[in-house]
A and B are shown apart, each in its own frame.
Chain A
């Protein structure tokens, strides 16, 4: 059974390349700041503090919060990239994370070569890689660009390729950062259908986004992060009613939304 449990996760970023003493001053100065020291008195930025939640099959969690509230760091921690300073994480299910469109891609290699590397990363044999290649090619619809180095792509094309690669292998847990919104309307519609199909297979989606419209449509649970802590956790509209200014929330409720059809 696919599940993901985060228990009291805290992440500290060490500050090796800055002056200790002036930092200590700023720690005293800024009460609301997130500078601190770890057990060995080294200066750190407290990126996340005591994050706990459990997700089960079918949960689609949205992460909202201002810039620097810890959304991307949380996605990285859930991906297993950062070992937490405190707490633990456990999950069952194959996870794919789309943190940054060019992540894991070599910009000097062609789209096709990048797909091949991804296939090898997933431990595929050559027949599976060929299948992956044609699937990604069909979905991304970037035409002849697939044989050009990725650095020649427009940012939208990079997004298409990255999304196609990440979802072609049907992850059971998909983590996405907000850059997916860089796709054009037609691609967004296609991406949404693909995620719908994923979620229909009773999988987990975690999406960090600034767009209230997107999280209302895609998610059935929302966590509001502020200064690395959970400020609110609940149904999307309940959380958004606290998060958004009153008139923006009214507009959001009034606007037509087409939720993911996962029934």
Chain B
């Protein structure tokens, strides 16, 4: 074992807390303490989460020539074909509509994948959960990272559309970055909340998928919110639509549209609610998740 001593010393130095205790559930104090501990340990392993997310994408496209750029290509084809069709149907100028559609669809795809992958964040990691003691945070981060990687490939399409149609981009667009960071935090919260609920109730992923389908149509993604100004009753569907506020805080800066404080405030309220719920759900279910696999 002499050849191991180098590695061994490194491991000893790295694992600062070889002490481990667990006990039966002792109420909310212990639950929150353990959940916080899980997150601390999980964030320290972010490189593992990233590598797992990368390997998910690589495996999906192993053996294919274009690899993950199939994502870019299929998104481009969809936006190209939809753009010309709907621009005609809505009697809109393609130069205005195509950038709007490209940004909207790609952002919505990202948002939708954060929710869909969030639902399977724990059930998809069954083997790891039952095989070793690993912070659950690693699995939640993994699903967020995987969606970020896919989103990264799709951004190319936005860039190409903007260049081809000569869309004016200013520094104002950088305001989309804090919005996207908020999405990452929300996506992480969703991976805990939906991941835990879906691990316990196996019908919920299907229900959430249907809800997201409806949300896609009632949220201004392929149509513009402006057309609701003549339908006062219909404007309710965006006023009480949390997806609208979240989408708008990233989309408006990218398209050079005005972003109001009200909009940002509502997006923050929605996120705060989500984070609170997910913290409660994770603290409550953390000790039970392995039993539900």
Contact = CB atoms under 8 A, between A and B. Distances in A.
Interface stretch (B131-139, B175-183, B224-232): B131-139
Contacts of B44: 123
A81 B21 contact: no
Interface stretch (A127-135, A210-218, A243-251): A127-135
Contacts of B128: 103-104
Given A102-B127, A121-B134, A170-B1, A94 B18 contact: yes
B92 interface: no
A75 to B, nearest CB: 11
Given A14-B291, A120-B47, A131 B7 contact: yes
B65 interface: no
- Size category of the A interface is 35 or more
A116 interface: yes
A206 to B, nearest CB: 15
Nearest to A134: B3
A121 B45 contact: yes
Interface string A243-263: 000000000000000000000
B17 to A, nearest CB: 10
Contacts of A170: 1, 4, 7-8, 11
B290 to A, nearest CB: 5
Interface residues of B, number: 42
A94 B22 contact: no
Contacts, number: 135
Interface in A62-102: 76, 79-95, 97, 99-100, 102
A103 B130 contact: yes
Contacts of A123: 14-15, 44-45
Interface in B85-143: 127-134
A104 B125 CA distance: 9
A81 B130 contact: yes
A188 interface: no
Given A81-B132, A104-B132, A108-B59, A135 B4 contact: yes
Contact of A128 (B7, B19, B130): B7
Given A121-B45, A197-B1, A100 B51 contact: no
Contacts of B40: none
B7 A89 contact: no
B20 A91 contact: yes
A55 B197 CA distance: 38
A169 B8 contact: yes
A122 B14 contact: yes
18 contacts: A16-B200, A76-B130, A81-B290, A88-B23, A91-B21, A93-B18, A105-B127, A106-B55, A108-B59, A120-B48, A120-B51, A121-B48, A123-B15, A123-B45, A168-B4, A169-B7, A169-B8, A172-B18
Closest 3 A/B residue pairs (Cβ): A103-B131, A88-B23, A83-B287
